[in-house]
């Protein structure tokens, strides 16, 4: 096991133009281990001045640096090298993520890191396959298109999958030839900074990736409103998404938003119950419920309700909550005091609105931001705990009688990020895959991801699709070229 001392946590600096620098203001902030409430280290606090410097560096690297002339295939090679270095350092990265975020090491090791490596591998294969087309236009002309990078891209990411969210944005942006300014979440800046070092070691030219930790309303807002940023990619809360759009409108920069969810997880009586119970567990307790596509509204068909709740609550109450660094831990700490308080507030609201608390509903231990896996039953869709995103290990169970009713109720949400259906009836499965308003539909599975498959939201869960070929749309723009072949 790597000790804290062996972790390569440098005094936290900003990464701008290939150099590790203090913030213009010399301010720093602490990053906390949510499992112990202790300070891990301090990090330079970026603000408007630092964002300006980072954007200047990214612009210079885009317009004048070697990046523009780097062959597409060589961009792929750099991504492969980054991937190799991530693999080489995966234990350290997993440990650092667990320390900073509070998620169990078993999950950072088995989920975050493999998904990160796969995402880098996937986009490493793209650069030399991104191209335009020739178009059979009318008249004596040759018309073709060039698919060009968008330019300087601002990327603002959340704290729930810190490095994975960074890589979802950085890998396709590199594949398409953009330059970037990344602002990690203030709660979890460490793996992004370490990733900056890895990118440098892999030969990514100076200024292509700049990393500026800082707070949302200062550093984040400065990036979103910056007049020389061509595109902003954001993952976070829908309310912040609105602010980002507004700020981005200053220079009409392109925007893609991956926001929250209140995803329905629908279990029919004809499903394989044990698989569905496991799916409900993964759906809500994976990553302490701090997942934008968490299955936070669990719809159970009436005839199986009692048995299902019994099985689910037995499993939930025996989940091993505790020290995230212990490899047998199944649920770690919530990321911050703020998040911890917010979740407990929702639990109170569920009780007050008359939902039935089946298990959990309180903190675990007396140190660290741990919350017991919590199941509410007898919830209706109008309760706050069924409408608002809790972003914690709290599931709201709603009973239903028929497919039309459950479809209608599932779609009664401002969100539309994901939905899952458990049934052996192929007709029901496909009907719901068609009728549910969500960007991802899982049938007899939950929280399944692949770098090649698009992810993003309907309705107020955002727009634009990350991953797969779809991310290339976000990070490129099309130029149409006309050549007169006539006289």
For ligand ADP, the binding residues (CB under 6 A) are 156-158, 183, 185-186, 215-217, 220-221, 224, 236-237, 240, 243-244
Q: Which is nearer to ligand ADP, 164 or 403 (CB)?
A: 164
Burial string for 20-57 (b: 16+ CB within 10 Å, else e) reads beebbeeebbebbbbbbeeebbebbbbbbebbbbbbbb
Nearest CA among 234, 212, 253, 189 for reference residue 48: 212
CB of 18 to ligand ADP, least distance (A): 23
φ and ψ at 412, to 5 degrees? -80, 75
Q: Which is nearer to ligand ADP, 240 or 407 (CB)?
A: 240
Cross-strand partners of 21: 14
Q: Which is nearer to ligand ADP, 117 or 157 (CB)?
A: 157
CB of 332 to ligand ADP, least distance (A): 17
Q: Which is nearer to ligand ADP, 188 or 476 (CB)?
A: 188
Cross-strand partners of 359: 375
CB of 185 to ligand ADP, least distance (A): 4
Pair of tokens at residue 55: 């954007």
Distance of CA 135 to the CA centre of its chain: 37
Chain position whose Cβ is nearest to ligand ADP: 216
Alpha helices in 318-376 (DSSP H): 337-352
Kindly report the three-state secondary structure assignment for every residue of 129-162.
HCCCCEECCCCCEEEEEEEEECCEEEEECCCCCH
CB of 395 to ligand ADP, least distance (A): 19
Nearest CA among 97, 32, 59, 140 for reference residue 325: 97
Q: Catalytic one among 107, 292, 301, 389?
A: 292
Q: Which is nearer to ligand ADP, 201 or 341 (CB)?
A: 341
CB of 441 to ligand ADP, least distance (A): 25
Cα 460 to Cα 346: distance, rounded to the nearest angstrom: 21
CB of 107 to ligand ADP, least distance (A): 18
Unique residue bearing structure tokens 């749309």:
473
Burial string for 232-261 (b: 16+ CB within 10 Å, else e) reads bbbbbbbebbebbbebbeeeebbbbbbbbb
**Size (the chain), residues:** 487
Kind and range of the H or E run holding 209: strand 209-211
CB of 53 to ligand ADP, least distance (A): 18
119: annotated active-site residue: no
C-alpha separations of 236 from 32, 291, 318, 382, 462 in Å: 20, 10, 31, 24, 10
Q: Which is nearer to ligand ADP, 186 or 230 (CB)?
A: 186
Pair of tokens at residue 378: 């007898």
φ and ψ at 392, to 5 degrees? -160, 180
Q: Catalytic one among 97, 186, 225, 258?
A: 258
CB of 338 to ligand ADP, least distance (A): 8
Q: Which is nearer to ligand ADP, 199 or 224 (CB)?
A: 224
Q: Which is nearer to ligand ADP, 185 or 316 (CB)?
A: 185
Residues with active-site annotation? 258, 292
């Amino acid at each position: 096991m790597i000790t804290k001392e062996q972790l390569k946590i440098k005094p936290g600096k900003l990464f701008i133009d290939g150099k590790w620098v203090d913030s213009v203001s010399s301010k720093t902030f602490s990053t906390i281990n949510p499992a112990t409430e202790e300070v891990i280290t301090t990090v330079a606090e970026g603000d408007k001045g630092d964002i300006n410097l980072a954007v200047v560096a990214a612009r210079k690297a885009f317009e004048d640096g070697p990046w523009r002339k780097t062959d597409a295939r060589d961009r792929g090679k750099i991504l492969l090298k980054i991937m190799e270095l991530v693999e080489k350092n995966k234990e350290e990265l997993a440990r650092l993520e667990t320390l900073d975020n509070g998620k169990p090491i078993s999950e950072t090791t088995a989920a975050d890191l493999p998904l990160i490596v796969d995402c880098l591998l996937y986009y490493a294969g793209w650069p030399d396959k991104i191209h335009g087309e020739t178009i059979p236009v009318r008249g004596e002309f040759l018309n073709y298109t060039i698919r060009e990078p968008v330019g300087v891209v601002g990327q603002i990411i959340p704290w729930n999958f810190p490095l994975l969210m960074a890589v979802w944005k950085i890998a396709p942006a590199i594949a398409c030839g953009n330059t970037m300014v990344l602002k990690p979440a203030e709660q979890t800046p460490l793996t992004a900074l370490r990733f900056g070092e890895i990118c440098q070691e892999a030969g990514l030219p100076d200024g292509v990736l700049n990393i500026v930790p800082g707070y949302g309303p200062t550093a984040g807002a400065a990036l979103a409103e910056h007049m020389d940023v061509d595109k902003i990619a954001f993952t976070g809360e829908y309310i912040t998404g609105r602010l980002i759009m507004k700020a981005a409108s200053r220079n009409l920069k392109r925007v893609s938003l991956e926001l929250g969810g209140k995803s329905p997880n629908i279990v029919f009586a004809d499903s394989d119950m044990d698989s569905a119970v496991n799916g409900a567990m993964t759906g809500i307790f994976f990553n302490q419920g701090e997942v934008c596509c968490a299955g936070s509204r669990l719809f159970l068909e009436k005839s199986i309700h009692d048995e299902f709740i019994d099985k689910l609550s037995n499993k939930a109450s025996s989940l091993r909550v505790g020290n995230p660094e212990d490899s047998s831990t199944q649920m770690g700490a919530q990321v911050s005091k703020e998040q911890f308080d917010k979740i407990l507030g929702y639990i109170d609201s569920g009780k007050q609105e008359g939902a039935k608390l089946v298990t959990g509903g309180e903190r675990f231990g007396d140190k660290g931001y741990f919350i017991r896996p919590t199941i509410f039953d007898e919830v209706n869709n109008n309760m706050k705990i069924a409408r608002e995103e809790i972003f914690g290990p709290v599931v709201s169970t709603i009973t239903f009688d028929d497919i039309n009713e459950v479809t209608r109720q599932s779609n009664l949400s401002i969100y539309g990020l994901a939905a899952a259906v458990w049934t052996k009836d192929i007709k029901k499965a496909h009907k719901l895959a068609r009728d549910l308003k969500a960007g991802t539909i899982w049938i007899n599975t939950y929280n399944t991801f692949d770098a090649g498959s698009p992810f993003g939201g309907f309705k107020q869960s955002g727009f634009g699709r990350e991953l797969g070929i779809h991310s290339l749309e976000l990070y490129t723009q099309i130029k149409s070229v006309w050549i007169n072949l006539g006289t």
